[in-house]
Amino acid sequence: MTYTPQLAEHRFGYGLSPRQQGPESAVNMLDTLAGPDRIAQSLPVQSYRALQDALVLRRRFRGFARKNPQTSKGKEADQKQRDIYGQMQAEWRRGFVQIQARRSLTQDAFRERLVAFWADHFTARGKGGMLRFAMTAYVEEAIRPQLTGRFADMLVGCVTHPLMLHYLDQDSSVGPNSIMVRRRDVDRGLNENLAREVLELHTLGVGGPYSQQDVRQLAELFTGLTRSRDYTFVFRRNIAEPGPETVLGKTYGAGASMQYVEAALRDLAAHPATARHIAGKLAVHFISDRPPADLIGALEQTYLDSDGDLMRLYQVLLDHPAAWVSELQNIRPPDEFVSASLRALGVTAQDLAGLKDRDLRDLFFRPLTLMGQSWQQPPGPDGWPEEDTAWVTPQGVAARLEWAMHVPQRLVQDLPQPGAFVDATLGAAAPSEIRFAAQAAESRAVGIGLVLSAPAFQRR
Amino acid sequence: MVAPLFNRRSVLTQAGLIGCSLAASPLVTPMAFAKAPWETRLVVIILRGGLDGLDVVRPQGDPAFADLRPTLNAGNDPIDLNGYFALHSGMAALMPLWHRGELGFVHAVSTPYRDKRSHFDGQDLLEAGTDRLSGTVRDGWLNRMLQLVPGLEADTAYAIGNDALRVLEGPAPVANWAPEANLRLSPQALQLAQLVMERDPQMHAALAEALMLSQDAEGDRRGGRAHEQIARFAASRLRQDARVAAFSLNGWDTHRAQGRALRRSLGVLSDTILTLRQDMGAAIWEKTAVVAVTEFGRTARENGTGGTDHGTGGVMIMAGGAISGGKVHGQWPGVGPSALYDGRDLMPTGDVRAALGWIMRGLTGIGTPDLTQTVFPGLDMGSDAGLLR
């Protein structure tokens, strides 16, 4: 149960890379994490603002094209709106490439794993049109800068992000007694979706001490949170339900205001049930499906003592003996398996940038779907499953094996010698049957595929 | 034509493709397995997201109904079923089945799940089949039904598709597969893959099963949309030794613009049922009950965004030659203001587990005590609901 750079990379990053040494110590991991986010600067992704601009522009061209369907100007406009969609789709694919390259090349791999963890906790995705390409920017702007801060800040940022408001229908919820409804007698009303998921998934957890009444009251408190036509966050007083609203016994505001929404979110973040929920999720994700109770207890206590200081939680996680047991536990989810393979193969941003759309589809998007994890399409607001049983299925294992055998040779010019690849990827302590199989394989591609398919690579 | 499982198994064993320590793999252990002692077929479809039963089987004859849903009821011509209930036109393709008595419904049913209206808990409870969620019950009710027949062959039951299916998870052996997965490795590569996974029973077993299924699925190269492929694969198994198949369909969480969204999902469900029927063939379809169940119904009133929110009571959909179709079963509670659950949802008057219990009893001969003690612990099945022919 001692720290090794190899275990640090394997369990808390994306595995060993031939390009760099693992971190010297857990302290070193945390120091790097607390420092500047270098890899994001060197491998940038498209901003949310750029997507918003494209949304506005495309809407304008579409509107014109619809009004002038049979004219040459109309057809030109229609082509332009298609082009814009195509560009944003290309940016989305480039986002996938950049994210994979970051995971492959970073010296700060724990950061990338934390990004994936919190992006899953605050799952939000676009449900149609070009918003389906927005998740990368959402994660980049609402999750990534908040990784080392306080949970409450991340919560407020994610819950009020336009993509979340869209995903969980908050942008169509209006207070039944709001100014707008009373004045114009419009046929719109309350939608509980976001309020429910904030309580159930983002804060207290489904076992938490809340009732349907709390959901309702929080939904009423949330009215006013919405987005403008270009998907910028706005608080609209005229659609907000006049308060006060009582959530978990605490009453917020007599008039509608963003300040009350934020106060309620911060109170939810500080709730002991939230501490327990977050502690359990971190331990399950990074350690095992059944983590030690004292680890959860220590995380929970630290959360409460530090007002949800995330760096302190990571420190507790890395300080616990369970972090450094040599026995591998959790299966890597498919997208992590693919990223870890790229890292093991030393794949660079240039290698990936050369891939055409069809290559990306055949080499990544389709295989990920077959493995059970379509890229950026989580099944619901609760994100991807954590249990190994969700991933270790005949189909999942078959898809991983297929990928491991056939895809690496299409990504790098010269595949490494399989025997050396065992050492570089799994270290000197690699199980003997893997060493044997890698040598006995009938081709280099099969040898590499066998190493990547081995439980010692698939689990962490 | 696919060869019988027994032959494939022995071929693979002889070829050395299957290692020896495969006790964890139900499909390939050398033990003798029993075939299911019944000939009927049960297909369970989990409709994830909360199907709006009131929109699918509409109580047109209930005077309170029209006012609840001005938007949803406008511009969609439902098809009269029995003078009181009418069917959403998105399921029009199934009307011939209704007339033949191969399509039926049980209305105003729900699981025992109440009040929190969470998809995830609702689905967990639906698939666990218990009366409340507890950390102790990890298996699903359909798996517990299979556990009642010791030594059952693993290809008696299939969980199909990309989603996890808790309803079939548990100690009884079950095969899992998605039709588009297939292995294209040389025998030598496969043998080595078995070797590197040997120390990990979970992965090793999964690979061994993948091998068997991959060979089975090779016969079908017709392509098509995901749900059609799933239905065809299910039918191909059920034509042979399989007696139970389960899969899930998403797309029922219609918070907004339900008119469009529900029509699309009902089309998928209708296609699925018709594909099952066609590919099973008349003789097997005659012995089949297809049941589609969901975690909860939706609010009786439409919401402000042309949709409905999470509710309680809903509808169970049945199809197949074995069911008593052409009927809307269940006790109708009405949708007047005082009849609603919590003042907002369709009041459940029956437990969906009781309906499932009676269907399993009729199909498999498993007795009520086993059903109410093991499959659905603590359930009161009440009197025979008459859901089978």
Asked whether residue B160 falls in the same domain as residue B188, the answer is no
Asked whether residue B253 falls in the same domain as residue B166, the answer is yes
Question: What tens digit of pLDDT does each residue of B77-101 get?
Answer: 899 999 999 999 999 999 999 999 9
Asked whether residue B125 falls in the same domain as residue B274, the answer is yes
Q: Spell out which residues of chain B touch residue A187, defining contact as CB-CB under 8 Å.
A: 71, 304
Which one of A337, A397, A459 would you mutate to disrupt binding with B, by most B Cβ within 10 Å of its Cβ?
A397
Q: What pLDDT band is residue B26 in, cutting at 50, 70 and 90?
A: very low
Q: Is residue B229 part of a domain?
A: yes
Record: contact B175-A394, CB cut-off 8 A: yes
By Cβ distance, the residue of B181, B188, B309 closest to A399 is B181
Q: Spell out which residues of chain A touch residue B124, defining contact as CB-CB under 8 Å.
A: none
Asked whether residue B203 falls in the same domain as residue B301, the answer is no
Alpha carbons within 13 A on the beta-carbon side of A185: 0
Record: contact A442-B210, CB cut-off 8 A: no
Record: contact B207-A398, CB cut-off 8 A: yes
- CA–CA distance, A352 with A330 (Å, rounded to integer): 28
pLDDT at B119 over 90: no
Q: Are A14 and A22 in contact (CB under 8 A)?
A: no
By Cβ distance, the residue of B116, B197, B213 closest to A212 is B116
Record: contact B178-A395, CB cut-off 8 A: yes
pLDDT at B137 over 80: no
Asked whether residue B214 falls in the same domain as residue B229, the answer is no
- Per-residue confidence (pLDDT) for residue A303, from 0 to 100: 98
pLDDT at B3 over 60: no
By Cβ distance, the residue of B116, B186, B193 closest to A450 is B193
Output DSSP code: residue A69: T
Among chain B residues, CA nearest to A385? B164
By Cβ distance, the residue of B169, B209, B305 closest to A169 is B305
pLDDT at B5 over 60: no
- Angle at B202 (CA atoms; ends B201, B208), nearest 5 degrees: 80
Q: Is residue B247 part of a domain?
A: yes
pLDDT at B33 over 60: no
Distance from CA of B185 to the nearest CA of A (A): 8
Q: Is residue B211 part of a domain?
A: yes
| Omega before residue A244 within 30° of 0, cis | yes
Which one of B46, B114, B196 would you mutate to disrupt binding with A, by most A Cβ within 10 Å of its Cβ?
B196
Q: At which of B219, B245, B267 does a domain end?
A: B219
Among chain A residues, CA nearest to B177? A395
Q: Domain with B269 in it: what CATH number?
A: 3.40.720
Output the pTM of the full model: 0.75
Among chain B residues, CA nearest to A443? B189
Q: Is A395 on the interface with B (CB under 8 A)?
A: yes
Q: Is A268 on the interface with B (CB under 8 A)?
A: no
Question: What tens digit of pLDDT does each residue of B145-193 get?
Answer: 999 998 888 789 998 876 778 899 888 888 878 777 777 788 889 999 9
- Per-residue confidence (pLDDT) for residue B280, from 0 to 100: 96
Record: contact B202-A388, CB cut-off 8 A: yes
Asked whether residue B322 falls in the same domain as residue B193, the answer is no
Phi, psi angle pair for A395, to nearest 5°: -65, -45
Record: contact B192-A441, CB cut-off 8 A: yes
Q: What pLDDT band is residue B221 in, cutting at 50, 70 and 90?
A: low
**Scanning the structure block, which residue is given the tokens 């530090």?**
A306
- More confidently predicted of B32 and A70: A70
Which residue segment(s) compose the domain that B314 sits in? Answer: 40-179+224-375
Q: Spell out which residues of chain B touch residue A446, defining contact as CB-CB under 8 Å.
A: 185-186, 188-189, 192
Q: Is residue B282 part of a domain?
A: yes
Q: Are A346 and A17 in contact (CB under 8 A)?
A: yes
Q: At which of B166, B194, B219 does a domain end?
A: B219
By Cβ distance, the residue of A206, A446, A455 closest to B197 is A455
Q: Spell out which residues of chain B touch residue A368, defining contact as CB-CB under 8 Å.
A: none
Average pLDDT over residues B362-366: 96
Record: contact A455-B309, CB cut-off 8 A: no
Complex prediction ipTM: 0.91
- CA–CA distance, B151 with B135 (Å, rounded to integer): 27
Asked whether residue B273 falls in the same domain as residue B192, the answer is no
The lowest-confidence range among A245-254, A444-453, B4-13, B65-74 is B4-13
Asked whether residue B174 falls in the same domain as residue B190, the answer is no
Average pLDDT over residues B319-342: 97
Record: contact B310-A454, CB cut-off 8 A: no
Helix (H, G, I), strand (E, B) or coil at A150: strand
Record: contact B198-A433, CB cut-off 8 A: yes
User: A332, exposed or middle or buried, with CB in 10 Å at 0-12, 13-18, 19+?
Assistant: buried
Neighbours of B109 (CB within 10 A): 28
Q: Spell out which residues of chain B touch residue A458, defining contact as CB-CB under 8 Å.
A: 203
Asked whether residue B311 falls in the same domain as residue B240, the answer is yes
Neighbours of A94 (CB within 10 A): 17
Q: From the CA atom positions of chain B, what is the Rg in Å? A: 21
Neighbours of B23 (CB within 10 A): 12
Output DSSP code: residue A309: B
Q: What are the residues whose beta carbons fall under 8 Å from the beta carbon of A182, sequence distance 6 or more?
A: none
The lowest-confidence range among B47-51, B73-77, B104-108 is B73-77
Greatest alpha-carbon span in chain A: 78
- Per-residue confidence (pLDDT) for residue B2, from 0 to 100: 33
Average pLDDT over residues B98-117: 96
- Per-residue confidence (pLDDT) for residue B272, from 0 to 100: 97
- CA–CA distance, B382 with B389 (Å, rounded to integer): 19
Among candidate residues B170, B139, B127, the one with its CA nearest the CA of residue B26:
B170
Record: contact A455-B117, CB cut-off 8 A: no
DSSP one-letter string for A400-437: HHHHHHHSHHHHSSSPPPHHHHHHHHH-TT--HHHHHH
A189 to each of A175, A222, A257, how far by Cα in Å? Answer: 6, 12, 18
Distance from CA of A355 to the nearest CA of B (A): 23
Q: Spell out which residues of chain A touch residue B214, defining contact as CB-CB under 8 Å.
A: 398
Q: Is A437 on the interface with B (CB under 8 A)?
A: yes
Q: Is residue B187 part of a domain?
A: yes
Asked whether residue B240 falls in the same domain as residue B100, the answer is yes
Instruction: Count the domains in chain B.
Output: 2
Output DSSP code: residue A209: S
Q: Spell out which residues of chain A touch residue B310, defining contact as CB-CB under 8 Å.
A: 192, 196
Q: Is residue B75 part of a domain?
A: yes
Low-confidence ranges of chain A (pLDDT < 50): none
Q: What are the residues whose beta carbons fall under 8 Å from the beta carbon of A87, sequence distance 6 or more?
A: A54
Q: Spell out which residues of chain B touch residue A445, defining contact as CB-CB under 8 Å.
A: none
Q: What are the residues whose beta carbons fall under 8 Å from the beta carbon of B136, sequence distance 6 or more?
A: none
- CA–CA distance, A448 with A434 (Å, rounded to integer): 10
- Per-residue confidence (pLDDT) for residue B218, from 0 to 100: 56
Record: contact A405-B189, CB cut-off 8 A: yes
DSSP one-letter string for A215-272: HHHHHHHHTTEEE-TTS-EEE-GGGSPPS-EEETTEEE-SS--HHHHHHHHHHHHTSH
Record: contact A196-B303, CB cut-off 8 A: no
Q: Is A398 on the interface with B (CB under 8 A)?
A: yes
Question: What tens digit of pLDDT does each residue of A294-331 get?
Answer: 999 999 999 999 999 999 999 999 999 999 999 999 99
Q: Spell out which residues of chain A touch residue B169, defining contact as CB-CB under 8 Å.
A: 389
In the numeric block, which tokens belong to residue B160? 């199909």
Q: Give per-residue burial for A339-370: e unless 16+ CB within 10 Å, then b.
A: bbbbbbbbbbbebbeebeeeebeebbbbbbbb
Strands B103-110 and B350-351: parallel
Record: contact A187-B255, CB cut-off 8 A: no
Q: Are A341 and A381 in contact (CB under 8 A)?
A: no
- Residue A32, Cα to own-chain centre: how many angstroms? 21
B216 to each of B182, B221, B348, how far by Cα in Å? Answer: 10, 12, 42
Asked whether residue B70 falls in the same domain as residue B23, the answer is no
Record: contact A394-B210, CB cut-off 8 A: yes
Record: contact B210-A172, CB cut-off 8 A: no
User: Any idea of the CA torsion for B24, B28, B30, B31, to the nearest 10 degrees?
Assistant: 70
Q: Spell out which residues of chain A touch residue B225, defining contact as CB-CB under 8 Å.
A: none
- CA–CA distance, A109 with A111 (Å, rounded to integer): 5
Q: Spell out which residues of chain B touch residue A419, defining contact as CB-CB under 8 Å.
A: none
In the numeric block, which tokens belong to residue A414? 């010269």
Q: Is residue B388 part of a domain?
A: no
Distance from CA of B210 to the nearest CA of A (A): 4
Q: Are A159 and A265 in contact (CB under 8 A)?
A: yes
**Scanning the structure block, which residue is given the tokens 């110590």?**
A25
Among chain B residues, CA nearest to A195? B118
- Per-residue confidence (pLDDT) for residue B281, from 0 to 100: 97
Phi, psi angle pair for A417, to nearest 5°: -70, 125
Q: Is residue B273 part of a domain?
A: yes
Asked whether residue B209 falls in the same domain as residue B298, the answer is no
Which one of A191, A281, A401, A457 would you mutate to disrupt binding with B, by most B Cβ within 10 Å of its Cβ?
A401
A292 to each of A134, A287, A312, A416, B255, how far by Cα in Å? Answer: 37, 9, 19, 39, 39
What's the start-to-end Cα distance of chain B, in Å? 32
Q: At which of B219, B247, B281 does a domain end?
A: B219
